[in-house]
Amino acid sequence: MEEVDPDAQIMVDEEGPDEGEMDAEALAMVASIFTAMFQADPLTPEAEARLPVATSIAASLVPEGVYGEMMGQMMDSFLSPILEMAEMDGGGMSASDLTEYTGLHGQDLDSLTQEERIELTEMFDPVYETRSTAQFDMIVSTADAVFGTLEPGVRDGLAKAYASRFDATELAELQAFFATPVGAKYARQSMVINTDPQVISGMMQSIPSLLEQLPVLLEGFEDAEAGLPEPRGYEDLTPSEQRRASEILGVDQLELRESMAEVEANEKELIEAAAAATEANLDAMADDVDAAADEAEASVDEGEEQAESFEDAMEDIGEE
């Protein structure tokens, strides 16, 4: 296993998450932690000899692009019906969206008519449907990119796992679509092999690449809304819109103003709390790395002491 420098520290950019990216040193440290934690044992010479055939099998099982495509399609399958349902409902914010947006949790907004919800949506966020579509497209493309980044490591680890678990004859039969008795062995292995240390190790080797891309991917969510105006707050509405929104929602204007201001303040608190939690998690991870390094060093010292004791004992025997 690779050594982890016990003196290494995870640093967070002093400007904080509001400035965008995590510090490069923190990303490098997290990447090294994942790489060190998920090291698999080296292949035996026999398994190395079988690796070319196993690599061919892994390429057949995990063809290039299938991981990203699979996850993109899965996300699309989950999210498309939601968008379609919203369109069938006439578009606009749902009652729950309006409740979250205005903070009027004590009001029964489910009783609003479709026309009233659409009217409120046009007041609060005139580009609501465009924004929702942009967010949907970004989620699907991000899933594609994330799992596409992991795919090469999975394919590499899977090839090593097959090279370790099957001999040359079995691998040849697997190439022939796993026929005869070998097929039965594959059936028994096919599920559990995905938890093989080689597979996990291969995937974790791709984490550095993923961490390098993560800031760009996160910025993509903001870029997806580039050029779109921010949702309108209470003070952004015209006096007539403020009166009409209050009328539709069944509250007075002061209550609506205070409620929406509270929502905005709570969102700011959540962002600050998330930033603090991220920094705390990074600090805790650094402490774990230090503790693991200290434990490893202690184990080495203990091993050296045992070796010295053994040598002393052998010298005593020789003298006798």
DSSP of 118-140? HHHHHHH-TTHHHHHHHHHHHHH
| pLDDT by position in tens, the chain (length 320) | 444 444 444 444 444 454 445 577 777 777 777 777 778 889 999 999 999 999 888 888 777 777 766 666 666 655 666 667 766 666 788 888 888 888 887 677 888 888 898 899 999 999 888 888 888 788 777 877 777 788 888 889 989 999 999 999 988 888 877 556 565 566 456 544 655 667 767 777 877 887 777 777 777 777 777 888 888 889 999 999 999 999 999 999 999 999 999 988 888 788 777 766 666 655 555 555 555 555 555 555 655 565 565 556 555 555 55
Contact (CB, 8 A) for 237 and 123: yes
Quick one: pLDDT at residue 164?
Answer: 94
Contact (CB, 8 A) for 199 and 154: yes
Residue 159's contacts (CB-CB under 8 Å, 6 or more residues apart) are: 51, 54, 55, 57, 58, 59
| Nearest Cα to Cα of residue 175 among 66, 62, 63, 53 | 53
Quick one: pLDDT at residue 239?
Answer: 94
> Chain-centre distance of CA 32, in angstroms?
17
Instruction: Output the CA–CA distances (angstroms, integers) from residue 188 to 181, 183, 193, 194, 256, in the order listed.
Output: 11, 9, 9, 12, 62
DSSP alpha helix (H) spans, 166-252: 168-175, 180-189, 197-205, 207-224, 239-249
| Nearest Cα to Cα of residue 161 among 206, 123, 192 | 192
Quick one: pLDDT at residue 283?
Answer: 59
Quick one: pLDDT at residue 110?
Answer: 83
> What are the b/e assignments for 11-38, b being 16+ CB within 10 Å?
ebbeeebeeeebeeebbebbbbbbbbbb
Q: Which amino acid belongs to residue 215?
A: P
The domain spans of the chain are 19-251, 254-320
